[in-house]
Amino acid sequence: MEIDFDALERAQTLLGTTTMRETIDKALREVDRRARLRHAADLIRRGELNIGTPEDLAELRKPRYAE
């Protein structure tokens, strides 16, 4: 496997990692996280993810018990 060590060093700085394995693992997890966020954003834009309005969310966050 060939590694671009300049890119690895930049990634380590950005990700706050110190070893090659830690950097690659964290970079792969970050790529996956971003892909999932893009997918969720696409679902929201198409109206396929029913998350409600900010007002709906505020109502859901209210305590449901009497003090």
For residue 66, being part of any structural domain is answered with no
The amino acid at residue 18 is: T
Percent of the chain with pLDDT over 70: 97
Structural domain span for residue 55:
5-61
Instruction: Decide if 67 is inside a domain.
Output: no
Q: Looking at the domain assignment, is residue 45 inside a domain?
A: yes
In a domain, 34, yes or no: yes
Write a three-state SS string for 1-65: CCCCHHHHHHHHHHHCCCCHHHHHHHHHHHHHHHHHHHHHHHHHHCCCCCCCCHHHHHHHHCCCC
Q: What is the pTM of this model?
A: 0.68
Residue 66 has what DSSP assignment?
-
In a domain, 15, yes or no: yes
Digit-coded pLDDT (tens) for 21-43: 999 999 999 999 999 999 988 98
Residue 67 clears pLDDT 70, i.e. is over it = no
Query: How many domains, the chain?
Result: 1
- State how far the Cα of 25 lies from the Cα of 55, in Å rounded to an integer: 38
Asked if the structure places residue 28 within a domain, the reply is: yes
Q: How confident is the model at residue 66 (pLDDT cuts 50, 70, 90)?
A: low
